[in-house]
């Protein structure tokens, strides 16, 4: 009698578990970085444009903003992917929508990081 393997359901479960973990990790990172962002906004509030740009250009603040941008957009991309997988049927091209949304989030990340490099004076 042939022995049955259940590798496909296990692979799906492992992929789903990884997605779930990354959602939680990125949510915690985004939450912590948003607290830091609120601090930055409070500090920038009374500054003029030049002082605010200099404040953001400080390496620690620029790095914090870059990590917040990446973590936040990564978390958003995971959430949108879940929405697409839950509500778009396979006949409608679910994977095409997932890839399109991931591409859009990548473009947003590149644009945000490019803007940050302009503010910091790297470019």
Distance CA 22, CA 4 (A): 31
**Cβ atoms within 10 A of the Cβ of 75, count?**
21
Q: What does each C-alpha distance from 88 to 22, 54, 76, 105 come to in angstroms?
A: 22, 45, 18, 19
Distance CA 8, CA 90 (A): 18
DSSP 40-92: HHHHHTTS-HHHHHHHHHSHHHHHHHHHHHHHHHHHHHHHHHHHHHHHS-GGG
Asked if residues 116 and 65 have their Cβ atoms less than 8 Å apart, the reply is yes
pLDDT of residue 121: 85
Position 103 confidence tier, pLDDT thresholds 50, 70, 90: very high
Radius of gyration (C-alpha) of the chain in whole angstroms: 20
* Whole-structure pTM value: 0.80
Examine the pLDDT at 64 and tell me if it is beyond 90. yes
Q: What is the mean pLDDT of residues 15-33?
A: 88
pLDDT at 88: 85
């Amino acid at each position: 009698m042939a022995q049955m393997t259940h590798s496909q359901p296990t692979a799906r479960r492992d992929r789903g578990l990884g997605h779930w973990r990354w959602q939680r990790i990125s949510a915690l990172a985004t939450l912590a970085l948003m607290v830091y962002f609120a601090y930055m906004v409070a500090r920038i509030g009374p500054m003029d444009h030049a002082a605010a740009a200099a404040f953001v250009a400080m390496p620690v603040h620029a790095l914090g903003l870059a990590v917040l941008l990446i973590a936040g957009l990564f978390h958003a991309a995971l959430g949108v992917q879940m929405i697409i997988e839950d509500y778009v049927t396979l006949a409608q091209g679910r994977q095409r929508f997932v890839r399109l949304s991931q591409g859009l989030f990548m473009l947003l990340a590149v644009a945000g990081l490019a803007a940050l490099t302009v503010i910091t004076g790297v470019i």
